Amino acid sequence: MTTTNIEPGGSAPQPPIPSAASPKTSLKKVAAASSIGTTIEWYDFFIYGTAAALVFPTLFFPGQDASAATLSSFATFAVAFFARPVGAAIFGHFGDRIGRKRTLVWTLMIMGIATVFIGLLPGYGTGAFGMFEGGIGIWAPTLLVVCRFFQGFAVGGEWAGATLLTAEYAPEGKRGMMAMWPQLGVAFAFFLSSGTFLAFSLVAGDSSAADSSFMQYGWRIPFLLSAVLVLIGLWIRISVEETPVFKQDRERAAQETAPTTLPFADAIRYQWKEILIAGGALTSLFSLFYMGTSFLTNYATKNLEHTRPFVLGMGMIAALVFGAAIALSAMYSDRIGRKKVIGTSVGLAVVWALFVFPILDTGSPIAFAVVLLVTLIIFGIAYGPAGALLPELFQARYRYTGAGLGYNLAGILGGALPPLAAAAMVANGNTLGVGIMLSLLSAMSMMCVLIMTESSKNVIHADAEVVVDRTLATEVP
């Protein structure tokens, strides 16, 4: 198999495109399946982040002072990011071998089971729903970490599969618009997670005391509701057929006499540069997003003493603005290219990161609202095109694996380590250092964006795979 190369801004002969959708699978159904599945997966993921900021320090780490408990709570939050590359490799293997659809069903099921189990966990010194009165001691944070690992494991395989589902069905020239649907799932999930916590916070009370209704059972309801959402998501995903690109690639592979290789090994061997560059380029947006959601939720309630309902309500408003930024930037990237749009976001992030905490530390609720909104707008500008960018960079036979590895590498660099470092710096009164750290991460992303090649003209169908730049393309035997 050979790789066709075109120069940046050039074009390639367009091959016959497999039918975009069968009579049983319309593009609307594909968009719905990718979006609702991603919404559910990320809803589960985000409610953990919200709980890590508001609940877990008190219930699972009660013997520590406030700063140490917060740091421990965010350490469990970070566990998922290290599990995500494992999930990307394993689910990527099966997604490239048995199909995108079946793999996505498994990611949804694993995430749902892990999330419901968290909602049933007793605390370190408190029971759950009348059981295990007095708590289960060290087993509480231990089981929390295990559940969090499986959440990350599932999300590691979810994102790449959902974006491939839309990108491989999309008509040429509209991949950005189609691939925005799984990206919008993240905004929907942030809205739902903030909204459910807000609702149960208002019903159960705003107290952070360990014996308050919210801390006893109110925080558990969003986790348990995940079971209903997962059933809905499974029903929709099962009704979608496998992508035409994957079917075509499997038909061609069945006719080849070359020995079978592992998708993970092939992705690392032939396109390791694309994995590293994509991971580096997207590090900035991950650092801004997780700092702007989970970490700032904790900072606003604990350090700035804003009320929990206010912070959660602002999260819902920010999620709507975030979704609009995703949609507009994704569609615009079909016109001017992914690189320019993502580069704009990263360039803004380099400067904005330095102003985040000086504005926040004025203590004004308006200042918090401005920081949250601007941060998520900048993130959304880059996140919209990312759904099309990564599938466009990799060969069909290991596309699921390659896209997942690049995305989750960015998750570790930008989503796992910065909140931990920020919690430690804030505990020492060094909020300026947090801004500098975020700005440096964005500067690193800018360097990766500058050497990244434009991908929007790449033909991703299995019989005419394209890598744009000769310096990054590797001939595949």
Burial-class residue 107 by CB neighbours within 10 Å (0-12, 13-18, 19+). Answer: buried
Question: Looking at 163-177, 380-394, 429-443, which range is the least confident one?
Answer: 163-177
In this prediction, residue 375 carries a pLDDT of 93
Query: pTM, whole model, 2 decimals?
Result: 0.79
Q: Is the pLDDT of residue 472 over 70?
A: no
Tokens encoding 122: 């007793």
Q: Mean pLDDT, to the nearest integer, of 310-339?
A: 94
Tell me the pLDDT band of 12, cut-offs 50, 70 and 90: very low
Q: Is the pLDDT of residue 7 over 50?
A: no
The percent of residues above 90 in pLDDT, for the chain, comes to 29
Whole-angstrom distance, CA of residue 373 vs CA of residue 315: 9
Q: Is the pLDDT of residue 313 over 70?
A: yes
How far, in Å, are 82, 84, 95, 234, 404 from residue 87 at the CA level?
9, 5, 11, 19, 9
The C-alpha angle with vertex 404 and arms to 400 and 405, in degrees rounded to 5, equals 120
Whole-angstrom distance, CA of residue 145 vs CA of residue 129: 21
In this prediction, residue 2 carries a pLDDT of 37
Return the CA Rg of the chain: 22
In a domain, 472, yes or no: no
In a domain, 3, yes or no: no
160: Cβ contacts below 8 Å, ≥ 6 apart: 88, 91, 92, 95, 390, 391, 399, 400, 401, 403, 404, 407
Using DSSP's 3-state secondary structure scheme, residue 331 falls into helix
Question: How many domains does the structure of the chain reveal?
Answer: 1
| Number of Cβ atoms within 10 Å of the Cβ of 251 | 10
In a domain, 10, yes or no: no
Whole-angstrom distance, CA of residue 243 vs CA of residue 22: 10
In this prediction, residue 257 carries a pLDDT of 54
Whole-angstrom distance, CA of residue 120 vs CA of residue 144: 10
Whole-angstrom distance, CA of residue 175 vs CA of residue 391: 10
Q: Is the pLDDT of residue 334 over 60?
A: yes
Please name the helix (run of DSSP H) or strand (run of DSSP E) that holds residue 466, with its range, or none. strand 466-467
Among left, alpha and beta (phi > 0; psi -120 to 50; other), residue 205 is: left
Q: Mean pLDDT, to the nearest integer, of 58-66?
A: 82
Residues shown for the chain: 477
61: Cβ contacts below 8 Å, ≥ 6 apart: 68, 69, 72, 73, 124, 141
Q: With beta carbons less than 8 A apart as the criterion, state whether 409 and 279 touch.
A: yes
Whole-angstrom distance, CA of residue 368 vs CA of residue 297: 10
DSSP β-ladder status, 466-467 and 4-5 = parallel
Give tens-digit pLDDT for 179-224: 899 999 989 988 988 888 888 777 766 555 555 677 777 788 888 9
Most confidently modeled range among 43-52, 109-118, 225-234, 245-254: 109-118
Looking at per-residue confidence, does 78 or 12 come out higher?
A: 78
φ, ψ of residue 467 to 5 degrees: the values are: -120, 130
CA 42 to chain centre: 7
Mean pLDDT of the chain: 82
In this prediction, residue 376 carries a pLDDT of 92
CA-based max dimension of the chain: 69
Q: Mean pLDDT, to the nearest integer, of 60-67?
A: 82
In a domain, 53, yes or no: yes
In a domain, 477, yes or no: no
Where residue 389 sits, what CATH number does that domain have?
1.20.1250.20
In this prediction, residue 475 carries a pLDDT of 35
Scanning 353-457, the segments in alpha helix (DSSP H) are 356-360, 365-393, 399-410, 417-427, 431-451
In this prediction, residue 352 carries a pLDDT of 95
Q: With beta carbons less than 8 A apart as the criterion, state whether 96 and 400 touch.
A: yes
According to DSSP, residue 109 is labeled: H
In a domain, 4, yes or no: no
In this prediction, residue 200 carries a pLDDT of 76
Give the side-chain half-sphere CA count within 13 A for 69.
19
Whole-angstrom distance, CA of residue 244 vs CA of residue 467: 20
Whole-angstrom distance, CA of residue 107 vs CA of residue 110: 5
In a domain, 362, yes or no: yes
In a domain, 7, yes or no: no
Give tens-digit pLDDT for 255-301: 665 556 788 888 889 999 999 999 999 999 888 887 777 778 878 88
Give the DSSP per-residue string, 262-308: -HHHHHHHHHHHHHHHHHHHHHHHHHHHHIIIIIHHHIIIIIS---H
Whole-angstrom distance, CA of residue 154 vs CA of residue 383: 20
Residue 357, domain extent:
23-250+259-467
Q: What is the dihedral of CA 214, 228, 33, 317, to 10 degrees?
A: -20
Please name the helix (run of DSSP H) or strand (run of DSSP E) that holds residue 4, with its range, or none. strand 4-5
